[in-house]
Structure 1
Amino acid sequence: MFDLIIKNATLPDGRTGVDIACQNGVITAVEAGITAEAAEVVNASGYLVSPPFVDPHFHMDATLSLGTPRMNVSGTLLEGIALWGELKPVQSVDDIIQRALRYCDLAVSMGLGAIRSHVDTCDDELKGVDALLEVREQVKDYIDLQLVAFPQDGVLRDPTAMANTLRALDMGVDVVGGIPHFERTMADGANSVRQLCEIAADRGLMVDMHCDESDDPHSRHIETLAYETQRLGLQGRVAGSHLTSMHSMDNYYVSKLIPLMVEAGVYAIPNPLINIMLQGRHDTYPKRRGQTRVRELRDAGITVGFGSDCVMDPWYSMGTADMLDVAFMGLHVGQLSSREDMAWCFDAVTQNSANIMGLEGYGIAKGCAANLVLLQARDKIEAIRLRADRLAVIRKGKVIARKQLSVSNLSLPGRPESLDPADYAPKSPT
């Protein structure tokens, strides 16, 4: 007897009529017509079963703090940073823990199974670090929470940031972060990248830097990050987050930059919802989109994963922990409109982001962790188009969240009595 069998699933690779058997927290079979008994059987009814969603860029220490101590009136990145500086002294460790746990509840309901959260290390008390280390422990059975030591005010610009960042890493934070474009000079920004990458190399850690979150085409710290990655042998362990200045760079420079990133094995993490909201604020018209060159990065062979960045905090007053919203925005802003492009956007919030975070046992195959999401959609593209409901969220072979099938009842003469939105796509789209 298995712990769980999912019957008649459609998989992200297009296979249909597949059963998935789970035992002791692991997928033990993926095939048609499994006849064994199970403690629980979930009938997928032909809907899409996916590995869990993965958010490779988030700020859990700030989430759900909207309006405290005030609202961001201008809606800009810089006012958000200033507002965060006002919030840090007045919040407690318990405040952060309770907000983060509430967010994790929401995240589970939306099928999120892994989150990489940056945590500010420019607070001498390291309240956010204390809080999120506690949260990481509390949610470990249902969310893989990876923490980045993030000196929000600049590791060189802030006088105690470097010492605090090292303390945070000593306390058990997983990844080295940075924000070179927020240093006082370009030289300081490049120096911060060098020093932080050296720390990561010495400690055997991954790196994830807020890099060039700016409209300034001369903000080119991703070049330094790629160089230091190669110099220190950090290939496959380094991500550049945001990279928004690339949308304003001239094509000739980018034609040099992207191959350098490819050689270095650097990952890219755009954050479509936030990038489109915060960038281009100094423009009148034409107004820049804000999102980095997703298509060009992807086509060059760089692993690109979409992050959500913020939910109801000093920088972004919206958000629902829905990575399909993130993919939906990334698709539109990047004009990723072919069938292949749209399907890839689903990968950008699942497999690609799992690769960036280095998650083990991720996927739908024998031997993978039995972490799955049943979506009210027939394929990956339809999941994004519908922002499909999560009918079941499964962790270690147990259902931890459920939602009723969303069907509208109609009273129209001569028309169907009910409507399932998942059944309204063309049968053979071209």
Structure 2
Amino acid sequence: MRRVVITGAGTVNALAQDVVGTFAAFANGRCAIGPLDVPDVERLTIRIGAQVQGWQPEVHFSRGELGLFDRFTQFAVYAARQAVAQSGLVFQGDLALEAGVVLGTAGGGLITQDESFRAVYAEGKNRVHPFVVPRLMHNAAASHVSMAFGLQGPSFTVSTACASSNHAMGQAFHLVQSGAARVMVTGGSEAMLSFGGIKAWEGLRVMSKDGCRPFCATRNGMVQGEGAAVFVFEDRDHAVARGAEILAEVVGFAMTSDASDIVMPSEAGAARAIAGALRDAKLAPGDVGYINAHGTGTAANDRTECAAIMRVFGADTDGLMVSSTKAAHGHIIGGTGAVELLACIMALRDGVIAPTVGYVAADPDCPLDVVPNEARQARVAVALSNAFAFGGMNAVLALRRG
């Protein structure tokens, strides 16, 4: 079994449009949640979100590309460009045949879908853009990334709600680890901040009107975000042979199903995924210094996740830091695990733990060190990234300092 390392990273999210800016925002405890700017916002009950501000797609893409790219595809391709550039890889010859892409998304081209429905139903038009189907299909981003870099190996999309990115990156890890691919471009992307997308989430009554406060006694719901993060996962021997910079090593992955409820999280299912990732990585709980939690800011999720962590780690969690960066960049749904993996890389490489911003008061149901409000300097050797989705889909990645 091959060892798998990360040699490139890229992102577009509400905090910044690159990795360096995102790390700086994490370190400064910045929050990117603010008033929404979408059509018909006055008809929404929820009017806050973490939108990517100042995004200029016409600067990054040709007119022809913009005709084919939904917003979620734009984010993914731009983040992939950053990741591949940092990796220094050129996909030619055999490497192109042994490299692929697997991305996660929950909604796919939801902006395209929303705009098309508006045109047909609200504006009475009888024709839509000829490329509506290729724009809205879930595999659009993965397909365009594969075409942008000539990746001719395994390429596909994973859609498991809020665990989509972690499932995608877990599959990429397995493909490289098994030797089925030498390099995989992987991560996730989401652009769900449209009138229809937000209105659908309003119906679940899990959204906050005033902010995301994971693990806090005053928490009252999640806040949606948008964006993407993409990484280059590479066979370690291949990376070392070419002198590549290693950002971190992916050492374990596990996925479980609650098989119990479509929306309520399960402590047992989450705990089995956390324990499974440790087992796959051949690590003990005491080896872990940081967990980037799913931490949505809802009452049920945060309480259940803390219980699951304590079930695996035992009553003694001294020295274990757990934070949720969703309070900063919002819940990016299918892309959230990818953006959150950046916080794990920052912890491992730079020794900076991203905080849980917006924290006000301790909740006895969440008795962990949640790194409230201010980033912390700490040397960390191993980090976990949790993702627990509606439908009981759980996926946990384990990373080690490279």
Give the number of the structure with larger relative contact order, counting CA–CA contacts within 8 Å between residues 6 or more apart: 2
After TM superposition, the score normalised by the length of structure 1 is 0.29
Give 1 or 2 for the bigger CA radius of gyration: 1
Name the one with the larger helix percent: 2
